[in-house]
Structure 1
Amino acid sequence: MSPDQLKYSKTHEWVALEGTTATIGITDFAVHLLSDLVFADLPPIGKKMTQGQPFGEVESVKAVSDLYAPVSGEVLARNERLTERRGADGKTIAAELDLLTSSPFADGWLIKANVTDVGELGNLLSQSEYKAHCDASAH
């Protein structure tokens, strides 16, 4: 996903829309602010989300930060690579949270959701608007 094709929230989530399916992640700007991520709490499949409301959390050595839904919808998939899980052999597989740093706009996606109101994307920012928002908040 090309960052210039995405829509962004002021709370640092991004959205890529294909039809009514949104892929949602957090921006590299947010990941660098948090640094040293240790845990991601992603919603279960089927969970309903409302634009602007928390849908999960990311935890760093510094703080726990809510993830806010950039659009309303229902969770269709979650990126299991970002959560600790059991392999077929029963052994624990560590969460690959480094994907949020190394590939925030591709392999580091958080969830996929069926969007209930595509018009809500109009409330989000373009890449240039998001960059201006980040620059302003850094001062």
Structure 2
Amino acid sequence: MSKKSKTAILCVDDERIVLTSLRDQIERHFGKTHQCELAQSADEALEVLAELNEDGVSTLIIVSDWLMPGMKGDELLIQVHQQFPKIKKILLTGQANLEAIDRTQKLADLHQYLSKPWEEEILIAVIASGLEEKDV
């Protein structure tokens, strides 16, 4: 079994195909240095974050959809920010309204908003910029 990275990027979306695509793109570009974790709901994302934290793995970035059953992405990112303010938060959605984006920027220190469908190069550049800011 290979040694797990001590840093992670978490992707949250209720659509499995979106998560698979995100995982493939993130692992292709960051897989040697960061593990990629997936969650299909906000509640699952909070559980994954807690487990990673318990295991001594620092989650550096969370990429979340907005429109999901149960808790929406802006609420999730606000909760994450309250518990883990250093995590860079990216909202990736085709559904979010401007009010939700603005609220996430103000209350969760949103790193970036990306719309679906996304371009891999832009997603990777946004994640890379978030990772660079972690080193500052």
| Same-fold status (TM-score > 0.5) | no
- TM-score, normalized by length of structure 1? 0.29
The structure with the largest alpha-carbon Rg is 1
| Larger fraction in helix | 2
| Larger fraction in strand | 1
- TM-score, normalized by length of structure 2? 0.30
